[in-house]
Structure 1
């Protein structure tokens, strides 16, 4: 994924803009007005473990709920 204008690119850019803050798929879905959370889930699962992205169980910075979140750690 390269951060283009695709849904995957929009999700990647959103997570990177949050500067290391953890975000859940539901909030990604809301922020980008995606039709279903599964769109975000497919992309965030693919990002996890690559190029500084990680998926962990933590509290979402945006909604405050404890769930699986994705964040980007700058290297």
Structure 2
């Protein structure tokens, strides 16, 4: 649960700017991008988090990102 909380806080701090899984993993020093991806899926659609296809505000790469309003 700690990873989910860390990801939620990180995404919320960036809000409303979107961020991708690789940037989440890098900034939070996660060993595996899959951990960030799992957390993103858990957060999407709840508490103001939204998942969509767009450009990451940190690396400017297009793909699936998450943000909080």
Q: TM-score range by the shorter chain?
A: over 0.9
Q: Which residue of 1 aligns with 2:31?
A: 35
Which of 1, 8, 12 aligns to 2:4? It is 8
RMSD: 1.0
The equivalent residue for 2:48 is 52
Which structure shows the bigger proportion of residues in helix conformation? 2
Structure 2 segments unaligned to the other structure (5+ residues): none
Deviation at 1:19, TM superposition (A): 2.1
- Normalized against structure 2, the TM-score is what? 0.96
Q: Distance in 2 between matches of 1:11 and 1:50?
A: 13
Q: Which runs of 4+ in 1 moved over 2 A?
A: none
State the TM-score, normalized to the length of structure 1. Answer: 0.89
Aligned pairs, number = 69
Aligned equivalents of 2:13, 2:47: Cα separation in 1 = 15
